[in-house]
Amino acid sequence: MIASGCEPLNVRKTQQTERSVLSPLVAPKDGIELQVYFVERPRGDILVGEALWSGIAEGGGIDAQTSVRLRKAGFRCGLTPSNPPRQIRAIVSDKETGSAAQKTRYQEFTLLSGDSAELEAAVYDAPVEFQTPALQGESTRRYDSARCVLRVSAQRDQEGWVRLQVLPEIHHGESQVRRVASDQQWTFKKAQQIDELYEQRIDLQMNLGEILVLGAGRGQPDSIGSLFFFDEEGGGGSERVLIIRVTGMQQVDPVRADGW
């Protein structure tokens, strides 16, 4: 679900750095309007099982090599049209529920072209391990204090179309003061180490109204996808599904940096 107790979005803005008598104009940007659902249900719940995926074009809009890498890493991904099947309509019918058995978190926002948003999928206090595909078979990775984050970015592609990227990241270890890039310079902030999983990055073109669905594959309990979308604690555990819908585009008018 979207991070509770912390800011779910991590948006960085870029401004011109050339100095002049007047405060510089911020270049106009395209704003991509998104709806995001994080749905959590008990393992085996029909709403997040095969009944859901039967109405989704798995691998749609994603190149064949990326689809293979996603499957090997334990991710399941697909697209639905602007008029979604009833399975999708049922799973998002309650925008905000929070019972012990099922949770749905909903958020809508405008993401500026060139910026990104962090969606927190899972948090682990205990050390975690998972298998990752490698050239010489599988390798095991181990993390302490891991946070599974999906970094979402979007930009206008052409009229009515958006290019959406979803990059899985694992934030791990103790928070320490680290050197990071800010808007115009390097700065220092307290943060965990970040492993960016570029091999599993999703990059696809979406039409307005289309829906991206992302979850975990079956039969891969030690995979990266399971780490992001399965929770084994308590009873039979739970399963999460991420749903992102592109709802519109708008242009943010330029203003001077001081707000004039």
C-alpha distances in Å from residue 127, one per residue of 3, 157, 231: 20, 41, 14
- Mean per-residue pLDDT, 240-252: 91
Which residue spans within the chain are E strands per DSSP?
29-42, 57-58, 75-80, 97-98, 103-112, 116-123, 128-134, 137-143, 147-158, 161-181, 186-196, 202-207, 211-216, 230-231, 238-252
Residue 251 has what pLDDT?
82
Q: Give the pLDDT confidence of 14-44 residue by residue, as tens digits.
A: 344 444 555 555 667 889 999 999 999 888 8
pTM metric for this prediction: 0.80
Q: Give the pLDDT confidence of 216-231 residue by residue, as tens digits.
A: 988 888 899 999 999 8
Residue 49 has what pLDDT?
84
Chain mean pLDDT for the chain = 81
DSSP-assigned beta bridge partners for residue 92:
none
- Mean per-residue pLDDT, 201-219: 93
- pLDDT band for 152, please (50, 70, 90 cuts): very high
Burial class (CB in 10 A: 0-12, 13-18, 19+), 7: exposed
